[in-house]
Amino acid sequence: MGTVGLPGCKRILLLLSHSGREKRLTAQPSALRPLGSRRAAGGCCPPCPALLCPARPSAGARPPPPSQREESGDKSARCLQCPTAGGGAGRTPFPSVPRGRSRNCVQSGSGRAAMGHVAGLAALPASAVLLLLLRCATAASLAPRGCEPGPNERPIVGILSQECHFDEFHKFGSSYIAASYVKFLESAGARIVPIRLNLSDEEYDRIFHSINGVLFPGGGVDLKTSEYSRVAKIFYRKALEANDKGDYFPVWGTCLGHELLTYLTSGEILLVNTKTNGFSLPLNFTSAAKRSRLFKNLPNDLLHAFANEPLTSNFHVWSISMENFTKNEKLYNFYNILTTNIDNEVEFISTMEAYKYPIYGVQWHPEKNSFEWKNSSGIPHSSSAIRAAHYIADFFINEARKSLHRFPSEGEETKELIYNYTPTYTGTFSSFQQVYFFD
């Protein structure tokens, strides 16, 4: 008896006689179902490399109009942890989040058709059956990554570079990415592609359709005139268009990136000056946070730590105030306010997520807790601070796993990864321990 394992199918048993002639062939009706496909009524047809997986998870429900919101971030929304709202100790955990939909391969045929395939195989000589199985196995190995079961287990995230605005950086290159952002996302199981400046629109389009999410980092360039802002606008618009078509693509903005998101959405600079450079702060959760995608899976002990301990690094002198946010209809209808902070009686938005799109912004720096050490007074390194940072990284990379974008070939993928670049130690003259520089 010979046994052949076919990738993506159940085992097919070939019972051969001593003379080498076929005695009988048996298979379950669903034996030829591609790996990861949902069970159809009776089975499906054999796998084929031409079968693609166009299904995309939905981008989420449309945002409710302001009249239907339940304290979704307006100025009257009560915080879960503030002097007037009663504290966060002893709060019950946020409800568990349902697992996302799996992307399944296209399948066709009925149980009768599948049995017909098996019956046809039984009529062939054993040598022909073996040859057919080998060809089928080869076809399965060439199937696109999108047909793998469940989420994308090989996420690649793009990090946008920015102009070197520090004098000490100019001798190393014209643009940079702080290595802490790279390590932050890599720690959650992602690989990184640096998005360099001054590329063509065609190159940015190719990169967009090859990566599974994008991060706009903090920095110090101009939100209106910088190349950083121009390129971010390209990816922001492509993300909106893709998600509108059911092509899941998450966007994350940190500090300057968070401020940039408010500018890209509203078309206005609505920032106010705050003295929040070099401080770690607890978060004031709004009542909308417990229903948010970002925080509804937050363990109760970590929620309490976020709300009562200074776990978030703040290195910014500009903020989007609650007042300016709520007055701007575009921002108010697009983003859900999840946390705020207060500086000198100015309440500003510290965490937000879009209602309809997987777009997230934080005014604070989750990447610094684990990977930056220069400004120790403003960066928490406690076990709770590290857990908080890991929670954020894990969340965003799980969002990236929902994207089915991929590079056309392994060679193109390898050429774009950040492994092709070497970080420079900058801890002696900058706030970053290491930096990637680009020409």
Q: Write down the residue that tokens 């606008």 correspond to.
A: 233
State the pLDDT at residue 252: 99
* Total length of the chain: 439
- Average pLDDT over every residue of 104-109: 38
State the pLDDT at residue 151: 78
Binned at pLDDT 50, 70 and 90, residue 378 comes out as: confident
In the sheet that holds 191-195, the strands lie side by side as 191-195, 156-160, 214-216, 251-254, 359-362, 346-354, 335-343, 284-285
State the pLDDT at residue 73: 39
Look at residue 76 and tell me whether its pLDDT is greater than 80. no
Q: What percent of the chain has pLDDT over 90?
A: 63
How many whole angstroms separate alpha carbon 2 and alpha carbon 4?
7
Lowest mean pLDDT among 78-82, 162-166, 194-198, 357-361: 78-82
Residues ≥6 apart with Cβ < 8 Å to 134: none
pLDDT tens string 309-334: 999 999 999 999 999 999 999 999 99
Q: Would you kindly state where each structural domain of the chain is located, as residue ranges? A: 2-54+104-147, 156-438
How many whole angstroms separate alpha carbon 200 and alpha carbon 186?
27
pLDDT tens string 108-159: 344 444 444 444 545 556 666 566 555 554 444 444 443 444 579 999 999 9
What pTM was computed for the model? 0.69
How many whole angstroms separate alpha carbon 329 and alpha carbon 345?
23
User: Would you please indicate which residues are annotated as catalytic (active-site) residues?
Assistant: 255, 365
- Average pLDDT over every residue of 191-198: 98
**Longest pairwise C-alpha distance within the chain:** 91
Binned at pLDDT 50, 70 and 90, residue 102 comes out as: very low
Lowest mean pLDDT among 7-21, 198-212, 245-259: 7-21
State the pLDDT at residue 342: 96
133 within 8 A of 33, measured Cβ to Cβ? no
Look at residue 49 and tell me whether its pLDDT is greater than 60. no
Look at residue 229 and tell me whether its pLDDT is greater than 50. yes
CATH class of 156-438: alpha beta
State the pLDDT at residue 234: 98
